[in-house]
Amino acid sequence: MREACTLKARQLGVQIAAKRVCSRLDLEIAPGECWGILGQNGSGKTSLLHTLGGLLAPREGAVYLADCELKRYPAKKRARLLGLLLQENQAAFPQTVWEYCLTGRYPHVDSFLESEADRAATRQALAIMQMSEHRQQNVLTLSGGEGRRLALATLFAQDPCLYLLDEPLNHLDLRHQRLLLHYLRERLREKKIAVLMALHDINIAEQYCDRVILLSGAGEARVGTKEEILTEENMSALYGHPVRLLWEQDKRWWVVE
């Protein structure tokens, strides 16, 4: 049985060069929760994700995964628990879609040969993102959207309990956006995973997130439930432009004036 996938940050400070992203940030992401990060371009969403995922060292404070400080995990064990989707994924050399997706199983393989369980997980992951028919295609010939779906399938093959997703909807058409979000929602309902994703669309945060982090771009971060954080005042100040909240029956929708 896997360890709990709770991710905690305590008094976290993130800084890239001279730019302060956040200071003294506390958060705790538990199984079954979906969190979103909102902010303007350059506000530090990716830097925060990379720090929480262990790719960048925090300036202050610490990150904990399953009650152990993240930096103390061996890389392979960390990858069994935490998966990070980069903003852009580009294959470095020719290989098939199947071979690329199978690399997601590396944290679970104890020898140089994958097992039938690894192959089954890879088949399932490709099917989830509707990439099965491309399994023998060279990854260098994929479209941008197909490449994004493959990156997501590879993450699903990895099967972590915590997903850190940097703009996961990049390059996806509407149908595949909904397919991805509905799949994540189902796994969240089963409390098998936790999700933190950097977003540009307030409406995605409104519909899918439980809690939201706002990055001001000036080193300040606000954390709270979406009901507390997603207000016209906060959104207009965050983006430096009027943003309005509309109601349609019992649903909330955000529009830019």
Q: Give me the pLDDT at residue 2, please.
A: 59
Q: Give me the pLDDT at residue 126, please.
A: 98
In this structure, is residue 239 part of a structural domain? yes
Q: Give me the pLDDT at residue 4, please.
A: 61
Residue pLDDT, tens place only, 10-66: 999 999 988 999 999 999 999 999 999 999 999 999 999 999 999 999 999 999 998
Lowest mean pLDDT among 119-123, 146-150, 175-179, 244-248: 244-248
Contact 148, 175 (CB under 8 A): no
In this structure, is residue 2 part of a structural domain? no
Phi, psi of 50 (to 5 degrees): -65, -35
1, pLDDT greater than 60: no
Residue pLDDT, tens place only, 63-109: 999 889 999 999 999 999 999 999 987 777 899 999 999 999 999 98
Its pTM stands at: 0.95
Contact 18, 36 (CB under 8 A): no
250, pLDDT greater than 90: no
d(CA 88, CA 84): 11
Q: Give me the pLDDT at residue 153, please.
A: 98
Q: Give me the pLDDT at residue 209, please.
A: 97
In this structure, is residue 187 part of a structural domain? yes
Q: Which helix (H) or strand (E) holds 43?
A: none
Q: How far apart are the first and last CA of the chain?
A: 49
Q: Give me the pLDDT at residue 118, please.
A: 95
Structure tokens given for 84? 């990070």
Q: Which of 23, 74, 18, 32 is nearest to 51 (CA)?
A: 23
CATH code for the domain of 88:
3.40.50.300
Contact 81, 66 (CB under 8 A): yes
Determine the average pLDDT of the residues in 144-153.
97
DSSP 138: B
Residue pLDDT, tens place only, 190-238: 888 999 999 999 999 999 999 999 999 999 999 999 999 999 999 999 9
Structural domain count of the chain: 1
Structure tokens given for 24? 């003294």
140, pLDDT greater than 70: yes
In this structure, is residue 1 part of a structural domain? no
In this structure, is residue 83 part of a structural domain? yes
Residue 108 belongs to what domain range? 7-256
Q: Give me the pLDDT at residue 3, please.
A: 59
d(CA 81, CA 202): 28
Which residue has better confidence, 155 or 192? 155
d(CA 142, CA 154): 15
In this structure, is residue 172 part of a structural domain? yes
